[in-house]
Amino acid sequence: MNLADTEIVLGILNKSGYSPTQAIDEADVVLLNTCSVREHAEEKIHQRLNVIRKQMAEKPELVVGVLGCMAERLRSSLMQRHNVDIVVGPDEYRKLPDLVDGAFTGSQGIGVRLSRTETYDDVTPFRSEGISAWISVMRGCDKFCTFCIVPFTRGRERSRTLTSVVAEVEQLVKQGFREITLLGQNVNSYIDSGHDFADLLSAVADVDPGLRVRFTTSHPQDLSDKLIDSIAAHDNLCNYIHLPVQSGSTRVLEAMNRTYTREHYLALVSKIRSRIPGVALSTDIISGFPTESEGEHKETLSLMEEVRYDGAYMFKYSPREGTPAYRLGDDIPEEVKARRLSEIISLQQKISGEVNESLVGNTMNVMVDGPSKKSELQMSGRTDTNKTVVFQAGQYKPGDLVLVKVERATSATLFGQVVGSLS
Ligand code: 5AD
Ligand code: SF4
């Protein structure tokens, strides 16, 4: 989401005559787009700002700004702590050209009002070249999970119009993009004059049958049958769903205000698997939510064994001031949280390894990303189910579709030989 927002910020600034540079010593303006979801993400920004402050000492005219959720949460205190010039939250990026201009003449500027309507519908994001593009289709979140700061830093849910999203996708296809990811904190809340997210997904898939379409994130409570049917009906809607569970214990889920039970979640997974054969599922899991017992942690492990996710993003609970869970205290000792997290990570690695191993011998449809990270003799790409596949380099370019026979697998990567081409 922050990468997509950064492209929007670059789009706004580019229109006012600014252009990006990769070299920080060449920059006249440095803007950090930030995340508040866990303490660790914020600490990294504080450290980064300390480094930048040293650079500012050598170049006093440098304009430095903080954008995103930390700007929204910490507001003017960021100016006091780091002496930055600009602090702008997620809904006020249109003010950036004026605030940056003001900063050049020495004024500090702040924009942290949240909006019920801002979707940056008319802003053309400044995208780097490639085959994959993000499109943010809804902003904000009304779910108020008790651990989560996002509803406070990103404000209420609002959606872009279906016609503007489809027009943007048409444009991206013309420019050569081959894969689109529709983004939102909870895409299932998407609504535009009676069109829901399933309608939007179908409309985007219909733009070009050769375009791969992905989306994230879905809240398990409102992933509709209609959405499952849309994915099953369109070959180019990728068979991959990120479905954060957070915990395997109904008691903890209730304390988290997730509004579903373990049983509801497992029934949803069965329904998805029966209607979309071969679908890949990934999840988010939090270890050590306040009051989580050892038995409840084991329920998370047993849910993971039952679902057998293809992948997972796993975190230690991080208390966020202002959230309802903050008032529960942070009663699980650090070493217990860490041990539970490492059990969760080891189990997931074992499961991912087994799931990938079961694909050895299969021939998979792979979209080429480019040279592999490790060797120029190899290229890498991704399957429809979002698995990374490494194969011998050939005359393929990013965006090409090749058929790869899988010969070997680890928990993170499939390795194989190209046996045919689809493009
Ligand atoms: N502590 C730990 N993890 C969190 N997440 C959100 N808030 C917190 C928190 N306070 C995780 C959730 C969410 C993902 C984006 O970040 O798992 O799905
Ligand atoms: Fe946070 Fe819950 Fe909204 Fe996700 S659904 S952004 S975890 S409040």
Q: Each residue of 300-315: pLDDT tens digit? A: 999 999 999 999 999 9
Segment 49-65 shows an average pLDDT of 89
Q: Is 179 helix (H, G, I), strand (E, B) or coil?
A: strand
Which pLDDT does position 181 carry in this prediction?
98
What CATH number is attached to the domain comprising 269? 3.80.30.20
Q: What is the mean pLDDT of residues 395-403?
A: 95
Phi, psi of 23 (to 5 degrees): -100, 115
User: Which domain covers residue 414, as residue numbers?
Assistant: 363-421
pLDDT tops 90 at residue 24: no
Q: Measuring from atom 18 of ligand 1, which residue has the nearest CA?
A: 284
Burial 56-67 (b: 16+ CB within 10 A, else e): beeeeebbbbbb
Report whether pLDDT(225) > 80: yes
Residue 87 Cα to ligand 1 middle (Å): 24
Residue 325, pLDDT above cutoff 90? yes
Question: Does residue 217 have a cis peptide bond before it, meaning omega lies within 30 degrees of 0?
Answer: yes
What's the 354 CA to ligand 1 centre distance in angstroms? 26
Name the residue of 186, 245, 246, 257 to mutate for ligand 2: max ligand atoms within 8 A of Cβ: 186
> What is the reported pLDDT for 8?
98
The burial class, CB within 10 Å (0-12 / 13-18 / 19+), for 245 is: buried
Give whole-number Cα distances, 266 to 145, 172, 242, 348, in Å: 20, 37, 14, 17
The yes-or-no verdict on residue 412 having pLDDT over 90 is yes
Q: How confident is the model at residue 254 (pLDDT cuts 50, 70, 90)?
A: very high
Residue 122: inside a domain: no
Residue-level pLDDT at 179? 98
User: Are 48 and 137 within one domain?
Assistant: no
Percent of the chain with pLDDT over 90: 94
Ligand 1 closest atom vs CA 320: 10
Indicate which residue's Cα is closest to atom 9 of ligand 1: 318
Residue tagged 């979002």 (tokens): 386
Residues 380 and 345 in one domain: no
**pLDDT > 70 fraction of the chain, expressed in percent and rounded:** 100
Q: Tell me which of 312, 341, 357 is where a domain ends.
A: 357
Nearest atom, ligand 2, residue 154 CA:
6
The β-bridge partners of 227 are none
Q: How far is the CA of 77 from the centre of ligand 1 (A)?
A: 24
* 246 Cβ below 6 A of ligand 2: no
Residue 386: per-residue pLDDT: 97
Q: Is residue 56 part of a domain?
A: yes
Residue 120 lies in a domain: no
Residue nearest to atom 6 of ligand 1 (CA): 148
Query: For the chain, what is the domain count?
Result: 3
Q: Residue 55: its pLDDT value, please?
A: 80
Domain boundary among 339, 357, 375: 357
Please report which ligand is nearest the Cα atom of 187. 2
Q: Kindly indicate the confidence band of residue 363, based on its pLDDT and cuts at 50, 70 and 90.
A: very high
Sequence-distant contacts of 119-124: CB under 8 A, at least 24 apart: 119/158, 119/159, 119/160, 120/8, 120/93, 120/94, 121/160, 121/161, 121/164, 122/164, 123/8, 123/11, 123/12, 124/11
pTM of the predicted model as reported, rounded to 2 decimal places: 0.96
Pocket probe for ligand 2: among 185, 217, 320, the residue whose CB has the most ligand atoms within 8 Å is: 185
217, 277: one domain:
yes
Examine residue 83 and state whether it is found in any structural domain, yes or no. Answer: yes
Q: What value does the mean pLDDT take over residues 270-291?
A: 98
Can you tell me the mean pLDDT for 23-42?
A: 95
Q: Specify the pLDDT at position 245.
A: 98
- 116 in any annotated domain: no
Q: Whose atoms come closest to the Cα of 315: which ligand?
A: 1
User: Ligand 1 centroid vs 190 CA: distance in angstroms?
Assistant: 21
CA atoms within 13 A on the CB side of 47: 6
**Could you tell me if 169 and 241 lie in one domain?**
yes
Tell how far the Cα of 347 is from the centroid of ligand 1, in angstroms: 19
Statement to judge: residues 92 and 214 lie in one domain: no
| pLDDT score at 241 | 98
At 22, is the pLDDT very low, low, confident or very high (cuts 50, 70, 90)? confident
pLDDT band at 112 (very low <50, low <70, confident <90, very high): very high
Q: Is residue 252 part of a domain?
A: yes
Query: Are 162 and 248 found together in one domain?
Result: yes
Residues 208 and 312 in one domain: yes
Give residue 54's pLDDT. 85
Kindly state whether residues 149 and 89 are assigned to the same domain: no
Task: Provide the pLDDT for residue 25.
Answer: 87
Do 301 and 372 fall into the same domain? no
The answer to whether residues 303 and 269 belong to one domain is: yes
Structural domain includes residue 403: yes
CATH number at residue 101: 3.40.50.12160
**Domain end among 327, 357, 387:** 357
Residue 88 binned pLDDT confidence (cut-offs 50, 70, 90): very high
Q: Which atom of ligand 1 is nearest to the CA of 316?
A: 2
Residue 5's pLDDT is 97
Token reading at 324: 């309802």
pLDDT value at residue 237: 97
Is 117 within the bounds of a domain? Answer: no
The residues, any chain, with a CB within 8 Å of residue 4's CB and separated by 6 or more, are 125, 134, 135, 136, 183
On the question of pLDDT at 42 being above 80, the answer is yes
Residue 367 sits in a domain whose CATH number is 2.40.50.140
Pocket test for ligand 2, best of 136, 142, 148, 285 (most atoms within 8 A of CB): 148
Residues 347 and 215 occupy one common structural domain: yes
* Centroid of ligand 1 to alpha carbon of 341 (angstroms): 13
Query: Do 178 and 298 reside in the same domain of the chain?
Result: yes
pLDDT class of 57 with cuts at 50, 70, 90: confident
